Homo-oligomer: A and B are copies of this chain.
Amino acid sequence: MNAIEDLARLIKKLPGMGEKSALRLSYYLLKSDPTYNRALAERIASIQEKIHPCPVCGSYTEDDICEFCKSEKRDRTELMVVEESQDTVTINQAGIYNGLFHVLGGAINPLNGIGPDKLRIKELLERIDSGNFKEIIIATNPTEEGDTTALYIKRLLEDRKLNVTRLASGLPIGGDLGYADKTTLMRSLKSRIKL
């Protein structure tokens, strides 16, 4: 195996990469600006040292507390519960929400051995009980696992005086929040339903 094939083999392990696209990227890197290659390599090698989950909400951050939890401009009466840290970025970049976030770290999936205890649900309850939230917006993915997780959390919160809502469909069913466009996200937020 030569160096190009070796690089392509590693690139192919990335999600969404086929054999041909991996080879194309390898050739692209072979011909690109060396400064770019060094910068990219350095970032890939160091990303895991620089980033850790925020102890409050669980989204990835370089700081002690993440920018959302730290911000004084965000509405502390609204809490949006998402599966993954990148979902906070998706929502935030859409510019449609100004409350706080809570990252579960996944969704309930018994077949894969992911029960509620594997998710940051205990932390969610503690946070809700010590906070001043009026509404909990459940923004798990519109999949079977996401729906199960939403219902599970809704039941846990039934005794509390809270609006518990869920992002409306409008999100394509079976899809993934990370690929939704801004308009779809906005519509699903606007028409969110009470659970």
Show the binding face of A for B, using Cβ within 8 Å. 2-4, 6-7, 10-11, 13-16, 20-21, 23-30, 34, 36-48, 50-51, 60-62, 84-86, 89-90, 178-179
**In the complex, chain B residues whose CB is within 8 Å of the CB of A11:** 40
When C-beta atoms are compared, the residue in chain B nearest to A86 turns out to be: B27
Tell me the bound Cα distance from A24 to B86 in angstroms. 8
Q: Given that A62-B2, A62-B3 are contacting pairs, would A37 and B30 also be in contact in the complex, using a CB cutoff of 8 Å? A: no
Give the shortest distance, in Å, between A35 (CB) and chain B (any CB).
Answer: 11
**In the bound complex, do residue B4 and residue A60 qualify as a contact, i.e. CB atoms below 8 Å apart?**
yes
Please tell me how many copies of the chain the complex holds.
Answer: 2
Tell me the bound Cα distance from A2 to B40 in angstroms. 15
Interface of A is mostly: helix
**In the complex, chain B residues whose CB is within 8 Å of the CB of A179:** 20
Which of A3, A39, A85 has its CB near the most chain B CB atoms (within 10 A)?
A3
**In the bound complex, do residue A36 and residue B51 qualify as a contact, i.e. CB atoms below 8 Å apart?**
no
Known: A27-B60, A27-B84. 14 other contacts (CB 8 A): A3-B46, A4-B47, A4-B51, A4-B60, A7-B43, A11-B40, A16-B24, A20-B179, A24-B178, A30-B48, A30-B60, A40-B44, A42-B45, A44-B44
Among candidates B24, B26, B37, B47, residue contacting A3 with C-beta atoms closer than 8 Å: B47
**In the bound complex, do residue B25 and residue A15 qualify as a contact, i.e. CB atoms below 8 Å apart?**
yes
Q: Given that A3-B43, A10-B36, A44-B40 are contacting pairs, would A24 and B15 also be in contact in the complex, using a CB cutoff of 8 Å? A: yes
**In the complex, chain B residues whose CB is within 8 Å of the CB of A29:** 44, 47-48
Tell me the bound Cα distance from A20 to B16 in angstroms. 12
**In the bound complex, do residue A43 and residue B89 qualify as a contact, i.e. CB atoms below 8 Å apart?**
no
**In the bound complex, do residue B41 and residue A13 qualify as a contact, i.e. CB atoms below 8 Å apart?**
no
Tell me the bound Cα distance from A24 to B176 in angstroms. 11
**In the bound complex, do residue A45 and residue B50 qualify as a contact, i.e. CB atoms below 8 Å apart?**
no
